[in-house]
Structure 1
């Protein structure tokens, strides 16, 4: 068995693996004989998280499968890894296995699996997870409750998303408001989304960059061009949020759908960064419309 000093070195080495940039550094940590790690769940979990951060889910799964003792961190790392790499079906399978094993999910587990269900539009299983989160009191986490709202919205159940939002009215934070605003915008309820945004501002909750993406989308659905322009200025001048490509794309979409083709083209020309494919497509479509 490895000495205490050796185990400390392994732990430090593996902890560093979670932040490595180059994949070539991982085998150096992994080359220590497996026997030295077999009784060290911390080392195994650190190695597992390292591969997850690199997006190497195949290698992460190999590590996970040989672990004798899997704690909540190891289970959650696998669920998060699969979810972030678009393997949402695998995330659900791992979560089911976790529950069968008797391991209790934490708020990070619930947030990740709810996000996976949202991507899969898996309403029935999402409801089951919501109930489990309520029983374990994890629903009280702002990130879990926001993930629940998003799950219901993406699964086509805006009324349930709204119900959850109103149930947590006494502890709403930016992420919760944002989830509901985006949910309303995604369902074409632009006017309601804008109204909720105004309410958010009135109670002193500061929006973030994602909030404004939802708001711009809502303005597009509702045809609120002037409000969209005002919010665009507000985002920068009052809240100090530097526009990103997603914000520019939303504004071009807002102007184009309102028939303001010249203004949309001028907006693209004033962008301080190179437009991405989405903005270029809008630009091409605008040019075609002007030639018609």
Structure 2
């Protein structure tokens, strides 16, 4: 109520805490709502704001919404980082979509990002969960 009366202007950290609360509650729709409200209030989201929403969609296994989140991030002029892509891989794991995970891994590399052990682990997990051991072995070999 104090915020709505204009007595306090929340900064990005405050908005991120609110977005994170919705994410921790498993409510991706609410996390999206708070990200949009943050923008409407004139506070610029940062990579953490967007990554938190990506994580919410990843937890739900909603690859389409996670992808839209990444595209919105780019539209807002915010460069995704390796964490952003790790969350996309988690969404692909929940959805059992190895092809999509590979596509995003290739996109990440094409954007000039160096994959780290967490990225590779998340990608391997996509194939482990779907029992596609040949592809898991292929990607494991690419780690070295």
- For Structure 1 versus Structure 2, the TM-score category normalised by the shorter chain is 0.7 to 0.9
Deviation at 1:202, TM superposition (A): 4.3
1:261 matched to 2:143: no
* Structure 1 length-normalised TM: 0.43
Q: 1:152 aligns with which of 5, 18, 22?
A: 22
- Unaligned regions of 5+ residues in structure 2, if any? none
Q: 1:227 to 1:202 in 2, by over 3 A?
A: farther
Rg comparison, structure with higher value = 1
Cα deviation code 1:94-113 (max 9, x no counterpart): xxxxxxxxxxxxxxxxxxxx
Cα deviation code 1:66-122 (max 9, x no counterpart): xxxxxxxxxxxxxxxxxxxxxxxxxxxxxxxxxxxxxxxxxxxxxxxxxxxxxxxxx
2:68 corresponds to which residue? 195
Across the aligned residues of Structure 1 and Structure 2, the Cα RMSD in angstroms comes to: 2.4
1:168 corresponds to which residue? 38
Superposition pairs for residues 15-26 of structure 1, below 5 Å? Answer: none
Distance in 1 (alpha carbons) for counterparts of 2:99 and 2:2: 44
* Structure 2 length-normalised TM: 0.79
Deviation at 1:247, TM superposition (A): 0.7
Q: 1:244 to 1:159 in 2, by over 3 A?
A: same
User: Relative contact order (C-alpha < 8 Å, sep 6+): which is higher?
Assistant: 2
Deviation at 1:236, TM superposition (A): 2.1
Contact kept, 8 Å, 1:190 with 1:220, in 2: the verdict is no
Q: 1:226 to 1:204 in 2, by over 3 A?
A: farther
Superposition pairs for residues 106-125 of structure 1, below 5 Å? Answer: none
Superposition pairs for residues 1-292 of structure 1, below 5 Å? Answer: 136-137=8-9, 139=10, 141-170=11-40, 171-238=44-111, 240-272=112-144
- Unaligned regions of 5+ residues in structure 1, if any? 1-130, 273-292
Distance in 2 (alpha carbons) for counterparts of 1:158 and 1:204: 22
Q: 1:201 to 1:226 in 2, by over 3 A?
A: farther
| Partner SS state of residue 26, structure 2 | coil
